[in-house]
Chains A and B, each alone.
Chain A
Amino acid sequence: GESVGLHLPTLSVQEGDNSIINCAYSNSASDYFIWYKQESGKGPQFIIDIRSNMDKRQGQRVTVLLNKTVKHLSLQIAATQPGDSAVYFCAEKESGGYNKLIFGAGTRLAVHP
């Protein structure tokens, strides 16, 4: 069945370092992937997305990499800041259908000064 999982439940980094959050997915029919950030007490917030016809997409301080061969997705955050501390979720959408997203378990990113 479908599943999206994360390798590390918690990631601690120093302020200014780069962060890498990983995600594995199992549904080869998924054609769209999104990373969300959830701060304490708030709803998930869209960070960046990538379609299956791409292997890399960059935003402001964030980069998403997609490796379809091994069904792996990663989120890279450059120069991590205290405001980046949150839980990060990856999500996948199966091609076709009505846009149902399946979310992974989440990784908590803790940024230390």
Chain B
Amino acid sequence: DSGVTQTPKHLITATGQRVTLRCSPRSGDLSVYWYQQSLDQGLQFLIQYYNGEERAKGNILERFSAQQFPDLHSELNLSSLELGDSALYFCASSVVGSQDYGYTFGSGTRLTVV
């Protein structure tokens, strides 16, 4: 257990639908990052939050949005889903500002759009 919790682990939904992925960061970590990993691909950075505020944005589609709540958990909302959105979605957390910049990853949510 890495300390980063992602739910659900698996999600199957139809095209056009909307889903919400949830992430609870490791205790003490203020920063949350979302990544998308398609089959046999690398990790594509989507978005970063730090203590409730958006800090960096990557290749995130307009159909996707995220937020970080006061208790530091984060949600990634995916809407108007397309077949190509099928992927693993990872959340990671870190303590920004410390010497340790490494991320701790959750085990991911596997999204299948049918």
Contacts and interface: CB of A to CB of B under 8 A. Distances in A.
* A and B pair up: yes
Interface of A: 32, 34, 36, 42-46, 49, 89, 93, 97-106
Contacts of A43: 2, 4, 90, 92, 105-108
- Interface residues on chain B, size class: 20 to 34
Nearest to A49: B102
A42 B108 CA distance: 7
Contact of A99 (B41, B101, B107): B101
A32 B96 CA distance: 13
Nearest 10 interchain pairs by C-beta: A43-B105, A103-B43, A98-B55, A105-B42, A100-B56, A46-B102, A99-B96, A43-B107, A44-B105, A103-B42
A89 B43 contact: yes
A99 to B, nearest CB: 5
Contacts of A34: 101-103
